[in-house]
Amino acid sequence: MVSTFVLGVLAFQAASTQMPAGGVTAAYSGREGRLSVPLPRVEASIETDGALTEPVWQQAALLNAFTQFAPTDNQPAADSTQVLVWYSPTAIHFGIRAFESHGTPTATLPERDRIFGDDNIQILIGTFHDGRQALMFAVNPRGVQADGALIEGRNVSAGGSFNSAAVIGREQADLSPNWVWQSNGRVTEFGYEVEIRIPFKSLRYQSANEQSWHLNVMRQVRHSGFEDAWAPVQRTNTAFLSQAGELTGLRDLRRGLVVELNPELTMRATGAPTAAGYDYTRENAQLGVNMRWGITTNLNLNLTAHPDYSQIESDAGQLNFDPRQALFFAERRPFFLEANELFAVPFNLIYTRRIVQPVAAVKLTGNVSGTNIGLLSAVDDQDFSRTGDDNPIFNILRLQRPLGGRSRIGLAYTDRIDGSDYNRVADVDGRIGIGRSATFNFQLAGSTTRINGVRTSAPLWSSSINVRGQRFGFNGVFQGIGDKFRTQSGFTSRAGIVYASVDPSITWNLSRDNLLQRFTFDINYNNTWQYVTFRNGGASQDRKVHFNANAALRGGWTAGVSLLTETFGYDAAIYQNYRLEVPSAAGGGALDTIPFPEGPRLPNLDYIISIGSPQFRHFSFNFFTLWGRDENFFEWASGDIIWITLGATFRPSERARAELSYNMQQVRRPHDGSLVNRGQIPRLKLEYQVSRPLFVRIVGQYRQEQTDSLRDYARTGAPILIATPGGVVRTQREFINEVHGEALVSYQPVPGTVILVGYGSDMTDGGRFRFNPLVRTSDAFFAKVTYLFRL
């Protein structure tokens, strides 16, 4: 019997003979630095069927000789990859042969943009040739698509729409875009073969008649955990996207008229308890419309009127351990996700979920004379104004421009007008490349807010430096946000603080044949001040020293351990409504209410373990746990804490997927072990992909939380009371047992054309995980139909 390895070698040789030197225009070896590719232009139109058998592929340029990028760089790729590329007047074509000597590649039939648990190929195209941004087109061996945008050094999102699995090289891809392009693929005896056609109608690019584009091709191999690149990419280089090859000589690209009209019809019925029993209200069918006009090759105009901005999947539940931090939920609505990479601002100063239910909105996005432009205006529903009588108006502007190959400058302005009230924020930010291994980032912003005639202003500022060496690295941050800083068009998790940190690190890169392939150790020292205290020269409130060790292991495993030493200072703002119930000085069993006394500094000592598995053929998981002595925010005392986060994916077949997540936080009193608070959120999502356009999804989530009656156990032992507008009340034990379920059937043959039918229900449980009785508190049936007309 011939071994899998021998079959792979024979297949490689057979594939090579199909592309004789006299047929292929030229071969461009990434390892040899042949990275400038004069792209062949061929007047041809072919079917995208996943088989590279048409004669036109013999005229394509051949990209080969990939280099490993992760977990260690600067090594020849362990698996061979060949990329064929050519263009016609209306589209660019890619053909990929990915060779596997170990066996069948990991390949399923997932939902669009959910392919990163499979082997996959990512094509990064920098159509503006600035080394700062790229469009990403990715496929798995079955040809299932994912697409997105990358901006160099981007760590924020205008809509928070990042997919945590979509790390491309060293950058986080924004998977918001859903462009129209064609792909198909098949698993072969030598690995897999994929064919891609990207119409110029789906791209934004320069207006020049002849132009050059940056190009890199990445490959993720799941059996080894390796990531390879055609143009060699060094991890120590702070500019990832500029480490690319280029396609030259593109001329006379025919984009044609780009007009997309996307009408949508939504129907809904909602149920809720009434005095006469459970009843449903049927809402009138709503007709909305979205339109996109490609004004030029690099500028798009989007319009929407009466859109349906409901989400087809609920936000995953979150637990909030620190009451000073607000919870962030990602943007999921298509109109705002379109080109939202152009609205990225540090500190999330643009957060489109602040626009709740617009009556109408308009958006202009693109690139003019080398400057990225994002302009958004929206009129929100009256229900979301302060008085209920006005329509809040949003105006948002974002400009970004490269400065050389490694630097950029950005400006942002947001304005929310609500009757006579308003909130305005202006921002300037930038990134400066220093040599090949260091960057300096800066930001300066200010807000002005008027509510009921009272006007307040406050600043926000930030600076950081990052150095990436082959062995040694350093990251330093210094930033502050005024206590009266407000952004009603953005998101800030916590205002009124100053934060500073230094984080030196050391890394050992070892052979990919070793069990331990990369090991990094760092020490993070950081302080947090109250903004007013810092301005007056006072001491920091929170002081932390974290010792972290992280490892990449053979086969794609990752592991990390941390030791956290911290001290936390008392924050009076959290406890301004707290009171204590103590015996009266008059005696006789009477009780008095006194203010909650300022608490002492709390010393913490915590431990962390994290583990990430590779993507096995049917299973993967990640696990994080923190335990030790930490702050008990409920009573301002030390507590014994456990924090667990678990995520697992099970894929029993190429069409079925089950995703389980479990979050748990628990605080106990150290002196007697009694429970202060426990929160748990298990969530299960089941999906079945009937075919590439048709899938079924079922989601179930349980939120269980219990909090004890609070007391000042560390000092007086007195019960804690809460001051409310109706008086002072003693805290009581509280229980939350909520169940959420939803089901969805979706048919999406192409982006923009979709039929959705769904149901969602919220219930309360009679006891913790008892499921008896389950009482509905609300539910809804909905259906949505949209169709994409593309001219």
Is residue 374 within 8 A of residue 396, CB to CB? The reply is yes
Q: The domain 4-251: what is its CATH number? A: 2.60.40.1190
CB atoms closer than 10 angstroms to residue 503? 17
For residues 508-537, average pLDDT: 93
Best CA proximity match to 176, nearest among 150, 199, 196:
150
- What's the pLDDT at 22? 39
Average pLDDT, the chain: 89
Helix H or strand E encompassing 567 = strand 558-568
Whether 687 shows a pLDDT value over 90: the answer reads yes
Whether 23 shows a pLDDT value over 80: the answer reads no
Rounded Cα–Cα distance for residues 633 and 591 (Å)? 25
Is residue 444 within 8 A of residue 409, CB to CB? The reply is no
Burial of 614 (0-12, 13-18, 19+ CB in 10 A): middle
For residues 377-405, average pLDDT: 91
Whether 327 shows a pLDDT value over 90: the answer reads no
Whether 791 shows a pLDDT value over 90: the answer reads no
Whether 10 shows a pLDDT value over 50: the answer reads no
**Left (φ > 0), alpha (ψ -120 to 50) or beta: where does 8 sit?**
alpha
For residues 181-198, average pLDDT: 95
Rounded Cα–Cα distance for residues 33 and 65 (Å)? 10
Rounded Cα–Cα distance for residues 138 and 121 (Å)? 5
Rounded Cα–Cα distance for residues 59 and 81 (Å)? 18
- What's the pLDDT at 170? 64
The model carries a pTM of: 0.85
**Left (φ > 0), alpha (ψ -120 to 50) or beta: where does 55 sit?**
alpha
CB atoms closer than 10 angstroms to residue 320? 12
First-to-final CA distance of the chain: 55
Whether 229 shows a pLDDT value over 80: the answer reads yes
Best CA proximity match to 518, nearest among 70, 3, 33, 46:
70
Q: SS3 helix, strand, coil % of the chain, rounded to 5?
A: 5, 55, 40
For residues 174-196, average pLDDT: 92
For residues 49-77, average pLDDT: 93
Residue pointed to by tokens 């072990």: 673
Confidence class of residue 555 from pLDDT cuts 50, 70 and 90? confident
Is residue 543 within 8 A of residue 566, CB to CB? The reply is yes
pLDDT (tens digit per residue) in 570-601: 999 899 999 999 888 777 677 788 899 998 99
For residues 248-252, average pLDDT: 94
Rounded Cα–Cα distance for residues 253 and 90 (Å)? 6
Least confident segment among 22-26, 258-262, 271-275: 22-26
- What's the pLDDT at 309? 60
Rounded Cα–Cα distance for residues 334 and 336 (Å)? 6
User: Which of the 8 DSSP states describes residue 710?
Assistant: P
Domain boundaries, the chain: 4-251, 298-495
Question: Would you state the torsion angle of the CA atoms of residues 326, 331, 336, 338, taken in this order, to the nearest 10 degrees?
Answer: 130
- What's the pLDDT at 24? 53
Rounded Cα–Cα distance for residues 525 and 318 (Å)? 27
Least confident segment among 88-97, 108-117, 454-463, 600-609: 108-117
Burial of 168 (0-12, 13-18, 19+ CB in 10 A): buried
Best CA proximity match to 309, nearest among 350, 338, 266:
266
The per-residue DSSP string of 104-145 comes to SPP-----TT--TTS-EEEEEEETT-SSSEEEEEEE-TT--E
Is residue 27 within 8 A of residue 64, CB to CB? The reply is yes
- Enumerate the β-bridge partners of residue 115: none
- What's the pLDDT at 154? 62
Whether 254 shows a pLDDT value over 50: the answer reads yes
Whether 18 shows a pLDDT value over 50: the answer reads no
HSE at residue 376, side-chain half, CA atoms within 13 A, is 31
- What's the pLDDT at 158? 34
- Enumerate the β-bridge partners of residue 63: 28, 83
Rounded Cα–Cα distance for residues 675 and 668 (Å)? 4
- Cβ neighbors of 497 (< 8 A, separation 6 or more) are 480, 481, 528, 529, 530, 531
pLDDT (tens digit per residue) in 494-517: 899 999 999 999 999 888 889 999
Whether 312 shows a pLDDT value over 60: the answer reads yes
Helix H or strand E encompassing 591 = strand 591-595
